[in-house]
Amino acid sequence: MTPLIWLVIAPLLGALAVLVVPARRMPAVALGAAAATLGAALALAAQVAGLGPRTVLLGGWTPPLGIVLKADGLGTAFAVMAALVMSGVALAARHELAPDKAGARAAYGFWPLMLLVWAALNTVFVSRDLFNLYVGLELLSLAAVALVALAGSREALAAAMRYLLFALTGSLLYLAGVVLTYSAHGTLDMAMLLARVPATGDGVALGLMTAGLMAKTALFPFHVWLPPAHAAAPAPASAMLSALVPKASLVILLRVWFEAMPDAAGDAALLVMAGLGAVAVIWGGVQALVQRKIKLVIAYSTVAQLGYFIIAFPLTGGDSAVKPWSAGAWTGMVFLALSHGLAKSAMFLVAGIWYSACGAQELRDLKGLARALPMSAFAFALAAVTLAGLPPSGGFTGKYLMMQAAFVAGLWPFALVMVAGGLLAAAYLYRPLAALFAKDEAISCAPVSRVRQAVPLALAAAAIILGVLSAEPFSFIKIGKPDAAVEGL
């Protein structure tokens, strides 16, 4: 039994198991499933590092009939990042979503939904079949929407409804592109699509899939659902929603452009996409700067960070000629996405601690909080270093690679946008930090155990370590890297 199968099956079995055990046993069963999935992700990473990409033909059938799962460096790196974040989320949720704190309903729903999100993420990270990816995305969106509704308030339900409508529109557009691709080429497998004879409708198919995935990733201008949705959910759910869920559609976007149809990429389309990304970086940053609630600052920061990922697309080249810098932009973007996941989950978990222990929801409630809960304030500061792209974090490594590519490619305006985005991030993160470390009299907080504070600290530290030890992850994500990411789109 290979770790690649367990990566998908362990969280699925966990989700089914928590639905049949008595409610009081749910957290223990879910933590068991989390441990098994984390183990599978680490074992898979060891295999991929040692032996190269791992492939499974499901049911033993080869494409175009069957579905292929393939774990390369990219997918495995995301699976490991997701496993770390999910483990932290599960540990935090034992407290935050206990029935006496969150209510019996939310305490019941959280565990199956969390495990379903995880199973869907892992499926998306390793599947190479366009329709199977659609099913994975559907499972992901449905569980994510339910997590937004978990809080039960009027705002949470409205945010969940809006998220659902965007997610379904995105699914429909993506599915339309998949159907077109299948009817033109008779296959859904990415490796077969790469070797296809290009058809006239490929551009339309790619455009539809891209629009759908952009809506799901909350890339500008489809971002409007994200801030209210991420802010409305309980903190451990927000951590998943912001750190992990948009990464699934981002990975599909990467795979469709670089692995299935690199030849269908056009200069103009790439620049339009990157332009939208640039607007997202600035718009998200400015919005984060004017928010008063902590969770909304963090959520708008996600809108901005997602913009960077899309900027990387034209930096990987503009036509199929070999571009020496494209490999750097692709790798930089993946670095950025991984470190964003770790840092963003740390921030939301910290915000959850502050809310449940100190009742702090707005930035002004944070005054002097660092003295009451120093460990959590330190975790927030570490995560801020990564999000602002300061050395030695993984965020810095990613941005550095992307900016280098932007200058070499002659697309320096995008480098300027990245600098501006970094400055904006420093500014919007300075506000909570200034409040935290203000010399006011310390506010009163309920005691929070060291372990609970250590979870976000560990995640924030992991994002820094990713930058300090960048050589190892750098060569890891290149395992099985598509040619188009080396040579340019």
Partner 1 sequence: MMALAFDVVLAALLILAALAAVAGRGLFRAVIFFIVYGVLVALAWARLGAVDVALAEAAIGAGLTGVLLLAAHGRLRREGLEADPGAGGQGFAAIGGAGVALALGWAWFALPEPATATRAALDSALPDAGVGNPVTAVLLNFRSFDTLLESIVLLAALVALWMLARDGAWGERLGLPQHARPGGVLASFGRVLPPLGLLFGAFLVWSGADDNGGAFQGGTVLAASLLLAMMAGLYLPPRIGERLWQSALVLGPVVFIACGLVGALVWGGFLVLPPAYAKGVILAIETGLTISIAATLALLVIGPPEQAHNSGGAA
Task: Give residues in contact with partner 1 (CB under 8 A).
Answer: 1, 5, 9, 12-13, 15-16, 19-20, 22-23, 56-61, 64-67, 103-106, 108-109, 112-113, 116, 119-120, 123, 131-132, 135-136, 138-139, 142-143, 145-146, 149-150, 152, 157, 173, 176, 180, 183-187, 197, 199-201, 204-205, 207-208
CB 208 within 8 A of CB 173: yes
**Residue 180 or 253: which CB sits closer to partner 1?**
180
| Residue 380 beta carbon to partner 1: minimum distance, rounded to whole angstroms | 29
| Residue 488 beta carbon to partner 1: minimum distance, rounded to whole angstroms | 26
d(CA 123, CA 68): 11
| Residue 179 beta carbon to partner 1: minimum distance, rounded to whole angstroms | 9
Closest C-alpha to 434, from 367, 345, 339: 367
| Residue 9 beta carbon to partner 1: minimum distance, rounded to whole angstroms | 6
**For residue 6, what are its two tokens?**
């367990």
| Residue 119 beta carbon to partner 1: minimum distance, rounded to whole angstroms | 8
**Residue 50 or 59: which CB sits closer to partner 1?**
59
**Residue 171 or 291: which CB sits closer to partner 1?**
171
Q: Is 234 helix (H, G, I), strand (E, B) or coil?
A: coil
**Residue 106 or 245: which CB sits closer to partner 1?**
106
Q: Would you give the DSSP letter of residue 225?
A: T
**Residue 106 or 342: which CB sits closer to partner 1?**
106
| Residue 302 beta carbon to partner 1: minimum distance, rounded to whole angstroms | 22
| Residue 86 beta carbon to partner 1: minimum distance, rounded to whole angstroms | 17
User: 13: exposed, middle or buried (C-beta count within 10 Å: 0-12, 13-18, 19+)?
Assistant: middle
Say which residues have a Cβ less than 8 Å from residue 138's Cβ, sequence separation at least 6.
171
**Residue 190 or 370: which CB sits closer to partner 1?**
190
d(CA 314, CA 260): 17
**Residue 156 or 350: which CB sits closer to partner 1?**
156
d(CA 343, CA 100): 29
Q: Give Cα separations from 398 to 80, 128, 430, 472, 482 (angstroms).
A: 18, 25, 21, 14, 19
**For residue 50, what are its two tokens?**
């040692």
Q: Would you give the DSSP letter of residue 392?
A: T
